[in-house]
Amino acid sequence: MASGGCVGVDLGALWTKAVVMGGGKVLASGAVRSTMKPEKPVGELVGRLLSEAGLLADGAVVAATGVGRKHIASKAQLTDLMAFSKAAIFLHPAARLVADLGGQGVRLMEMEPDGTMAGFTTNDKCSTGTGCFLDIMAAALGVEPAYMGTAVAGEPAVINTSCTVFAESEVVTLVAKKRPKEEIIAGLNEMVAKKVVAMINAVSARGDIVMGGGVAMNAGVVKAIERELKRKLVMPPQPNMLGAIGAALTVGGRS
């Protein structure tokens, strides 16, 4: 095995993601549930990924981002906004807006043609559009969170509120009325999409929009956003890994 390796770790609210990069490519990637004490699970995850990439832990350089970035040892630390921006421009230089649909927040980063971040917008305190919201709805429906993005429905159910508490109550009522779960899921995905599209329209986005974050892995939400916007979105191969990729790029992931 060779020594070295550029490692990016994104310690998010729900999931901790990590990538090993070299030569401008992701050599290995993985994720574990976030914990209050991340040192051990992060160390195990990084060790496994370095082994998959054929690299030794000795000489590996780690950079961290995310809400828990200060809780692990690393050579460099950067904010989520900077990490997502770096990764989006690296993967798609024509990006002019980056949408991070994360576990507990929705963030938009406006990009200049030279790759610098011109500004950013975050959602209000409402959790609609986040992974946490969709996880709660999945639990109310008795399905796995991953199913929320793959369910095929006929007519989407109408969800009248975006408040998590009241939306959960609506879901329970619809289930009691024997409404097919797939139609309820479609309605929830459309509601999430409307929330995200309202934010995008508020910044008058021009140019390519790159999607990132765990919710971007929900195909139902992505398709609903595209229908609302009437345009195609740029989907990276691993949208949930954008933060980790951006972190790895700061410590030499391009080389």
SS (H, E, C) the chain: CECCCEEEEEECCCEEEEEEEECCEEEEEEEEECCCCCHHHHHHHHHHHHHHCCECCCCCEEEEECCCHHHCCCCEECCHHHHHHHHHHHHCCCEEEEEEECCCCEEEEEECCCCCEEEEEECCCCCCCCHHHHHHHHHHHCCCHHHHHCCCCCCCCCCCCCCHHHHHHHHHHHHHCCCCHHHHHHHHHHHHHHHHHHHHHHCCCCCEEEEECHHHHCHHHHHHHHHHHCCCCECCCCHHHHHHHHHHHCCCCCC
Instruction: For residue range 55-83, list pLDDT tens digits in order.
Output: 988 889 999 999 999 999 999 999 999 99
Confidence of residue 253 (pLDDT cuts 50, 70, 90): low
Task: Provide the CATH topology of domain 93-235.
Answer: Nucleotidyltransferase; domain 5 (3.30.420)
Confidence of residue 230 (pLDDT cuts 50, 70, 90): very high
CATH superfamily of 6-80+242-249: ATPase, nucleotide binding domain (3.30.420.40)
pLDDT of residue 210: 97
Decide: pTM greater than 0.75.
Answer: yes
What's the mean pLDDT in 1-20? 88
Q: What is the mean pLDDT of the chain?
A: 90
pLDDT of residue 163: 75
The answer on pLDDT for 105 being more than 90 is no
CATH 3.30.420.40 in the chain: give the residue spans.
6-80+242-249, 93-235
